[in-house]
Structure 1
Amino acid sequence: MPSLPTPVFLPAVDPTAAALVPSLALIGPLLVPASLVGAVVPTLPKTATYIVDISAPNDVDPVLLLNNGAIALVVSQAQLENLSAEGIPSDRLIVKLGESELASAPRLAKAAAGLYVTEATKPVSAKSLGVKAQVFVELKSTSASTLVEDIKASLPTTIVVPTSLLTNGASTATHVSIADAFLAPVISDRPDGLFPTIVSSSTHSSRPLGMVYSSRESVSEAIKTQKGVYQSRKHGLWRKGETSGSVQDLVAIELDCDTDSLVFQVVQHGTGFCHLGTPTCFGSFSGLARLEDTLKSRLESAPEGSYTKRLFTDEKLLRAKILEEAEELCDAQTKEEVAFEAADLFYFALARAVSKGVSLKDIELALDAKALKVTRRKGDAKPKYEAKVAESSTPAPAAAAAPAPVAPAASETIRMKTTKLSTLNKAEQKKLLLRPVLNSLAMIDKVKPIVERVRTEGDAGLKAMTKQFDKAELSSNIQLPPFATPSLEELPPVVREAIDQAYLNVKTFHAAQVDKAPLKVETMPGVVCSRFARPIQRVGIYVPGGTAILPSTAIMLGVPAQVAGCKEIVLATPPRADGSISPEVLYVAQLTGVTAILKAGGAQAVAAMAYGTGEVPKVDKIFGPGNQWVTAAKMYLQNDTDALIAIDMPAGPSEVLVMADSTANPVFVASDLLSQAEHGVDSQVVLVAINLTEKHLAEIEAEVDKQARALPRVEIARQAIAKSLIVLVDTQAEGIAFSNEYAPEHLILHLENAPAAVASIDNAGSVFVGAFTPESCGDYASGTNHTLPTNGYARQFSGVNTASFQKSITSQEITREGLSVLGPVVVTLAEREGLDAHANAVRVRLQALQA
């Protein structure tokens, strides 16, 4: 990784800074406390950089933070030693020290890329400390009145600035504008005080777009609007593209090394930057940038039958060309041959990228993200390519020599990894709790264009994407009741009866969860407080589908919405190619009182329900599982104030933890493990084996192998099981403690006295008690809900239930007598807080009572 950036100042994000984050992300890295990573990082643009402060006690994984994009971590001195010992590069660490500890700065700087000095009474510099590391200083005295001067006086030291001191508006006595803080060190040698500004394309890095001028006013407006805004020497403030339509989205602003000129990185829209109609003031782009523009143009308008059109429509042809050119590049020897063949490979590789909506900038960002990772895979080629290279470079054997037999992968035993908990230290035990890294940030970046298209284009955009992704051309994406009853041929009686029974069981359990009457409590004589439940008026339920048939999910989400009393229930599910919905889901929609079916899938369906369109009703909360596109769209939209929606919970791959003691039946245990392993290769499967004999454990492993081979989805199960884990423990208490830390989605208890163990379970999505309670029953028809928290979120989230579709409202009623006693208490507290109007609202009533 390159050396740490030297920002003008480092904004320290606090929980109230959400409105400032997009603007602050334009001017350099943000300092995000570990506790706010989940809230702040998903909202950042993909070009933003950030540093995470993990120096306070927390349970975050430093490696995970760095792999997911943090450019550095702020750590305590104790953490510095531990993380360095674990192999985390020193150039990714910034160590905290107090002003009284500055004598140790030279020693600490040898093990870190930066020093973070807390509560300093005056600025310090790398030079004064005798170090080469970047220095960040948190000044005790910094306030709005001194901030600009503090920044000027401190460079090249970087001042850490609380976001509570900053504003997107003009500077005041209590807040400093972000632009004023950023421009604090900037100087101009021009009589008019303007700053030369290079405008660079964020998507085309081959040459600048042009040179303009900026003022303090234009920079402030650019940061506030996140658009290209400059200062015309003739006409004043210049909002680029205001009349021509060639607007710019601002990506970043940087200072040059002498702090006397600026660089604006922008995404240029329209015909281009120059008034002559060219992309830049220096002519057209060249090289890869020009090729990308050409391919994008041809993707939209290449004539039928042309070679480029064939590349975009015939995936087999494009795949063959990429493989062909890659092999020819590998065979090339001379400089000219390598350049020629590499150019061919770039052409076809970029054609593939453009066909999938991937830009050169996306590729550059992917390279940057890879460079930030601190863990690396081994890097060997995949076996099939190693074998191919060996085959092409090794002389053929003599005819008499028989090749050595190679056992196919399918013959290998399907088995889990095993570890004994008591032999691991705390750090190793903690790693057992980690799920695979989910790059939610990358997925959110991918769904943003889809979400934005639905928001701006409404039904037209939704129909176009339904045709593109679901392969169904619809006149309308909405189907309203009454829904046609599926025929007996479509829905045989045995299936209908199974759905009816599952619906009845789930409805019975969820109806029992409804609050029968308001809660009323007299907290003191004459003061009655109440709480009562009300349904969320409009809910959206997402049922994955298309070629799949998932009536169980429709039941699990439709029933609690129905019994909670939601007035509008929008069921979204991908249509089949002919535009129809599976009869099973259609039947459940009838049973559960669905008020509209949205025939669309993926992020576009989630966005349509979140924003509403001409046809699609807007909802207040969205429920349901889905692939990573659906999950990312839900996560993104819950933070969009234009959408104003809630979601049920974060989602990850399906998971199960099975706890087994000496009474466990190996056949049952293996079947429970595999019931989750078949969901997907990323499914999480854990067996906690309590003091099992080697023979008993071997029987379970043999059953896993045997039963897996009989499954149609054996290859999926094989990959999931290979990454799964057997944790050996000595006692039931040790096993339950591990399970509570792991917080599984599904917990299955194969224990001698399973019902008694339930009292000790603190964290789980749903518990399956005893040998004859398979997880499958909860998935379909026992009555509990199968929409459950994954990825360890069972520590703080419940599974979907009736209350998920309701919100609680509180009320209070106070009599004259009650206020006469309570009123003086309230007046005292309000006056103490300096809220005189609050106190007065009570005081005037007390005076009326006395009169």
Structure 2
Amino acid sequence: MAAAPLIPAYDFVAPPATGLSIQSISHLSWIFLSVTADNYNQSLEFIPQNFNRFQFLVDVSTLESDVTQIKQLLNVGASKVITSLKQLELLRDPKLQIDEDRLILAIPRGGDYTRDEFEDAIRHTSLGVFVPDVPGVNVKSVIEWLEVYGTENRPPVYISFKSKPVLEEVLKLVKLNATVITDSKELTVDPKKEEGLLSVAQIYAKAAKSDRSDGLFTTLVVDEQGVALGLVYSSEESISESLRTGSGVYQSRKRGLWYKGATSGALQELVRIDLDCDADCLRFTVKQKGKGFCHLDTRTCFGASTGLGALQATLQSRFASAPEGSYTARLFNDPALLRAKIMEEAEELCDAKTKEDIAWEAADLLYFALTKCVSAGVSLADIEKNLDAKSLKVVRRKGDAKAKWTNGTNETKPQETAAAAPAKPAEVPVQKDTSNDRIEMRRYFSSEITAEELEAILKRPSQKSSETIMGIVNPIIKAVREDGDKALLGYTQKFDRCPDLKSTVLKAPYPEKLMTLTPEVKAAIDLSYENILKFHTAQKESKPLVVETMPGVQCSRFARPIERVGLYIPGGTAVLPSTALMLGVPALVAGCKTIVFASPPRPDGSITPEIVYIAHKVGAEAIVLAGGAQAVAALAYGTESVPKVDKILGPGNQFVTAAKMVVSNDTGATVSIDMPAGPSEVLVIADKSSNPAFVASDLLSQAEHGVDSQVVLLAVDLSNEELQAIDDELHKQAMALPRVDIVRGAIAHSVTVVVDTIDKAFDVSNLYAPEHLILQIADAKACVEKVQNAGSVFIGPWTPESVGDYSAGVNHSLPTYGYAKQYSGVNLATYVKHITSSELTAEGLQNLGTAVMDLAAVEGLDAHRMAVKIRLDHMAKGTPI
């Protein structure tokens, strides 16, 4: 759904003599500004001056592509900017740290717009498509596009009318969830008085949805802070009256138009009207006057205000008529006292340690701070508007405190950089846990929820939309495919923050100094290498499969290694040499002729010595010092220095996965991939025989991978006390972990589901299809036969998932996100392809020939039929070959 069904365009340099006033426009929330080189400086002044009135949709697509001006417009309060494709690509530079939700792509101006241009714009971004200055002859085409794409699962579409809009077309576009942009002088809030103009109320009523027999629209009335005052109904007529009068007017189901406060004095000043995401609820934001919204003389229909809202109301009342001698009156009349109390409470808040003390002192500080605000006529809504304005800034100050609060120094200690070749395992920096809240999984009982509710509960954490991902990935792939090493180096310097990197490829043989390891780490790698080698060697096919399907007809199948493989080793929040082992050793066993690693470098341009050592052991001929979509593209297409491969394997983030899918579908790349892969996950089935500490440790071993990881516990008939024991262990162990902040994020969308039986547990597990399945149950080995969908299974109390990740021998590169229903984890077969052969004797062709010719005739493929017939005729004549 777009920001609004209608956005007025406004010329602030030369405001229209007729049409909507700026006050009327503000009721619609949004305003459209076309910023050019001529009005750029005025725009920088106009936007912050009117930030409290509007959200700004700003067209910058005609400006020069220098992002400096666009950044400044975003910085002063532009909510969204409409850009050209060239500008969009520049603004997506991660160094700019611009939220993509604020960017909209404009279809190029001029000429008739084709379907291809529209579809190309949609492919480039999921954030919004702007069709500028549509001539009247093209509106039908735009409507046809929207009808094809539907109202769901497409980017927001903004349609700009330069010429006078036709009402029927505007209403059709709005009904298709498009946002219409038209000159404010073409709009009216009083259609009876200003005939010939578009009625704003009619457009909003057309955009809104109603399932009521009387056609009324559900309407939520809120104050400027978004606090719900009550629920009412609206009609086109009441919306029109609200806009015309600038007050709250609704549709009574019994008495017709209801001018709120006309008899009670509890008037409402209209601030804005907008729609919810599904357009089935209107929201009226108002300034409530008098005693309140409710007929019971309370501020809301849900009772009296609480919290800061109640405090503000009390202070405003006291400011108007504070009782003689009251403390609040004294604060209002003694600025020095108020200043001293604010300073005192701020210091006490800074010194508070416990959760209770911090909440207590923060409440005191807010009381005195709000007292100062009320005395100056500043409301909570004013404060929130300023917070909103600051949240839009893209240019940030350093943020140091003033010298008097820091004993005269603002210096920060430089961060220590990692050594080029550390002689000990990488240490995870201790993350400061910023919350004292208990780390606990949500708990559900399968007997109390429906199958649909259970499926929703088990839904994985949401990922970025495919449109958003592809809008970023596709340009990167295109650049690397076309510009090779130059593009690869540029993206690596930018995304991996390696400005001094000169080359993205490290070729074998690798210098010994790049493989400096402690004896302990080297021994651990060697042990893991041997176990993985042994398990994958055992998967080799000892001899070709040969079958005589009938006398004289012999069919065979034999394996051959994929010649060139690219192995992607992530380098996100943790270094993963184990992945290098899991991908590299099977490639070696399979006999792949060319093995290429790809992994993001460290900021100094080096690669972790563990990965270099493993590349040496498995015979990798090169290490590509790059990550993300750019590394995948280099492996798929090859560059001047990166060998092209035939298959790409390895896990990665959403951008890596998307890039693998793109190149695997490009016939110009002729490359395959192992499987789709997403965030790590584990499902533990535990019964009364399980050890709570073991269960908690297995859950945490995956939760620490990333905040988008998910862990699930299926508790079989556990009591509340047994469930609590696991919860207590989870919290205790989590709080002792250096990556506790990451764990907290993962546990926030993780769940415990209590089931009655083992069979029910496996039903749920097979539905979820986990990457890792851990069985902490009695007679676990016998239950393995119940497993239908899982990446890898860990059986019994002495088999933590960690052993599979590192050293047991099984592969840890596994399908996630439910793909275990369709895909296997990496194994030796992943690195080979199978070729079949057929060999027939003369007898065999005689036995088979008639059937082949008959089927070829049915399909109308006469050359197929003749290839057999000519041979049979040859035999019949007894002619030698």
Instruction: Report the TM-score range of the alignment, normalised by the length of the smaller protein.
Output: 0.5 to 0.7
Match of 2:512 in 1: 485
How far apart are the structure 2 equivalents of 1:374 and 1:517?
A: 66
CA distance in 2: counterparts of 1:570 and 1:635, whole angstroms:
19
On the 8 A contact 2:461/2:749 being kept in 1, the answer is no
Shift of 1:373: 10
Separation of aligned partners in 1, 2:865 and 2:692: 69
Structure 1 equivalent of residue 553 of structure 2: 527
Aligned to 2:700: 674
Q: What is the DSSP-based 3-state SS (H/G/I as helix, E as strand, rest coil) of the residue aligned with 1:740?
A: helix
Give the 3-state SS of the residue equivalent to 1:411 in structure 2. coil
Determine if the alignment matches structure 1 residue 733 to structure 2 residue 759.
Answer: yes
Cα 1:373–1:720 shift into 2, 3 Å = farther
C-alpha contact (below 8 Å) 2:651/2:678 kept by paired residues: no
How far 1:253 sits from its partner (Å)? 13
CA distance in structure 1 between the partners assigned to 2:824 and 2:312 by the alignment: 57
Greater CA drift, 422-431 or 672-681: 422-431
Q: 1:847 to 1:771 in 2, by over 3 A?
A: same
1:13-68 residue CA offsets vs partner (Å, 9 max, x unmatched): xxxxxxxxxxxxxxxxxxxxxxxxxxxxxxxxxxxxxxxxxxxxxxxxxxxxxxxx
Question: For the structure 1 residues 393 and 592, does the alpha-carbon distance in structure 2 shift closer, same or farther, using more than 3 Å as the test?
Answer: farther
- The match for 1:476 among 495, 503, 512 is 503
Cα distance change on mapping 1:373 and 1:629 into 2, 3 Å: farther
Is it true that 1:421 corresponds to 2:452 in the alignment?
no
- What is the DSSP-based 3-state SS (H/G/I as helix, E as strand, rest coil) of the residue aligned with 2:559? strand
The one-letter amino acid of 2:503's match is: S
Amino acid at match of 1:844: I
Amino acid paired to 2:505: I
| Aligned-pair CA distance for 1:639 | 1.8
- 1:450 CA drift (Å): 1.2
Question: CA separation of 1:437/1:410 partners in 2, compared to 1, >3 Å: closer, same or farther?
Answer: closer
Specify which of 422, 430, 437 is matched with residue 412 of structure 1.
437
Report if aligned partners of 1:420, 1:729 keep a CA contact under 8 Å in 2: yes
1:128 match:
none
CA distance in 2, matches of 1:375, 1:592: 61
Q: Structure 2 vs 1, CA of residues 795 and 736 (structure 1 numbering), >3 Å: closer, same or farther?
A: same
1:846: how far off? 1.1
Task: Compare CA radii of gyration and give the structure with the larger one.
Answer: 2
- State the match for 1:494 in structure 2: 520
Displacement, 1:757?
0.5
SS at match of 2:512: coil
Runs of 4+ in 1 over 4 A off after TM superposition: 201-205, 222-227, 250-266, 370-376, 386-404, 406-409
Residue 259 of structure 1 and its aligned partner are, at CA, apart by 7.7
User: RMSD value over aligned CA atoms?
Assistant: 4.0
Q: How many angstroms apart in 1 are the aligned matches of 2:137 and 2:570?
A: 56
Give the Cα separation in 2 of the matches to 1:390 and 1:265: 51
Which consecutive unaligned segments of at least 5 residues does structure 2 have? 6-102, 122-128, 146-161, 163-180, 182-223, 226-275, 286-305, 316-327, 332-337, 350-355, 360-432
Offset, 1:838: 1.1
CA distance in 2, matches of 1:576, 1:728: 44
Post-superposition offset of 1:543: 0.9
How far is the alpha carbon of 1:476 from its aligned partner?
Answer: 2.5
Give the whole-Å Cα distance in 2 for the aligned partners of 1:392 and 1:262. Answer: 53
Any idea what the Cα deviations from partners look like across 1:780-818, whole Å, max 9, x if unmatched? 110000110001110110001111111111111111101
Residue 585 (str. 1) matches residue 611 (str. 2): yes
- CA distance in structure 2 between the aligned counterparts of 1:612 and 1:813, rounded to whole angstroms: 38
The 1:606–1:823 alpha-carbon spacing in structure 2 relative to 1, beyond 3 Å, is: same
Q: Who is 1:821 aligned against?
A: 847
Query: Which residue of 2 is the match for residue 618 of structure 1?
Result: 644
Q: Give me the TM-score of the superposition, normalised by structure 1.
A: 0.56
Matched, 1:643 2:669: yes
Give the counterpart letter for 1:649 in structure 2.
Answer: M
* Paired residue secondary structure (2:476): helix
Does residue 661 of structure 1 match 2:687? yes
Aligned to 1:599: 625
User: For 1:672-724, what per-residue CA distance to the aligned partner results, in whole angstroms no more than 9, with x for missing partners?
Assistant: 01111111111111100111122211111110011111111112112211321
Q: What is the alpha-carbon distance in structure 1 between the residues aligned to residue 446 and residue 118 of structure 2?
A: 53
- Rounded Cα–Cα distance in structure 2 between residues aligned with 1:723 and 1:658: 15
- Superposed displacement of residue 444, structure 1: 1.6
Cα shift at 1:500:
0.2
Q: Does 1:608 align with 2:659?
A: no
Alignment of 1:746-761 (within 5 A): 746-761=772-787
Structure 1 partner of 2:586: 560
Change (3 A) 1:420 1:500: same
Check the 8 A contact 1:519/1:530 in 2, yes or no.
yes
* Post-superposition CA distance 1:114-133 (Å, at most 9, x none): xxxxxxxxxxxxxxxxxxxx
> What is the TM-score with the length of structure 2 in the denominator?
0.54
Task: Confirm or deny: 8 A CA contact 1:254 1:263 kept in the other structure.
Answer: no
> Structure 1 CA distance, aligned partners of 2:109 and 2:704?
52
Change (3 A) 1:387 1:716: farther
2:441 maps to 1:435: no
Change (3 A) 1:256 1:821: farther
Distance in 1, Cα, partners of 2:760 & 2:660:
37
Summarize the Cα distance change of 1:262–1:424 in structure 2 as closer, same or farther, 3 Å threshold. closer
Name the CA distance, whole Å, in 2 between partners of 1:584 and 1:537: 25
Point out the more displaced range, 654-663 or 453-462.
453-462
Aligned residue identity for 2:757: T
**Runs of 5+ unmatched residues, structure 1:** 6-200, 228-249, 267-281, 283-288, 290-328, 331-369, 380-385
Match of 2:178 in 1: none
1:446 corresponding residue in structure 2 = 472
Query: Contact conserved, 1:256 with 1:263, CA < 8 A, in 2?
Result: no
Q: For residues 387 and 521 of structure 1, do their structure 2 counterparts lie closer, same or farther at Cα, with a shift above 3 Å needed? A: farther
Task: Give per-residue Cα distances to partners, 1:574-606, cap 9 Å, x unaligned.
Answer: 122332211111000011110111111111111
Matched, 1:456 2:482: yes
Residue correspondence of structure 1 range 198-209 to structure 2 within 5 A: 203-204=105-106, 209=109
Q: Offset of 1:437 from its aligned partner?
A: 2.5
SS at 2:612's partner residue? Answer: helix
Matches within 5 A, 1:260-275: none
Query: For structure 1, which segment, 539-548 or 676-685, has the greater mean C-alpha deviation from structure 2 after superposition?
Result: 539-548
Residue identity in the other structure for 2:517 = L
Indicate the residue corresponding to 2:768 in structure 1.
742
AA aligned opposite 1:634: K
Letter in 2 for 1:626: G
Query: Hey, what's the Cα distance between the residues in 1 that align with 2:118 and 2:575?
Result: 48
Partner Cα separation in structure 2 for residue 790 and residue 615 of structure 1:
33
- Contact map agreement 2:549 2:555 (CA 8 A) in 1: yes
SS of the aligned residue for 2:555 comes to strand
Aligned length: 518
Worse-matched range after superposition: 422-431 or 695-704: 422-431
Q: CA-to-partner distance for each residue in 1:55-97, whole Å, 9 max, x for gaps?
A: xxxxxxxxxxxxxxxxxxxxxxxxxxxxxxxxxxxxxxxxxxx
Q: Is the 8 A contact 1:546 1:573 kept in 2?
A: no
Report the CA distance between 1:393 and its aligned residue.
9.9
Q: What is the CA-CA distance between 1:261 and the residue it aligns to? A: 8.6
Q: Return the alpha-carbon distance in structure 2 between the equivalents of residues 555 and 591 of structure 1.
A: 9
- Which amino acid in the other structure matches residue 752 of structure 1? A
Whole-Å Cα distance in 2 between the matches of residues 801 and 394 of structure 1? 69
Aligned residues with identical type, % of pairs = 51
User: Structure 1, residues 250-290: CA drift from partner, whole Å, max 9, x if none?
Assistant: 99999987689978999xxxxxxxxxxxxxxx9xxxxxx9x
Residue type of the alignment partner of 2:720: E
What amino acid is aligned across from residue 858 of structure 2 in structure 1?
R
Deviations 1:557-587 (A, max 9, x none): 0011111111111101112233221111100
Q: 1:374 to 1:764 in 2, by over 3 A?
A: farther
Q: Distance in 2 between matches of 1:816 and 1:251?
A: 69
Q: Which residue of 2 aligns with 1:129?
A: none
Check 1:390–1:493 CA distance in 2 against 1; reply closer, same or farther (3 A cut). farther
| Residue type at the aligned position of 1:653 | P
1:374 and 1:560 map into 2 onto residues whose CA distance is: 56
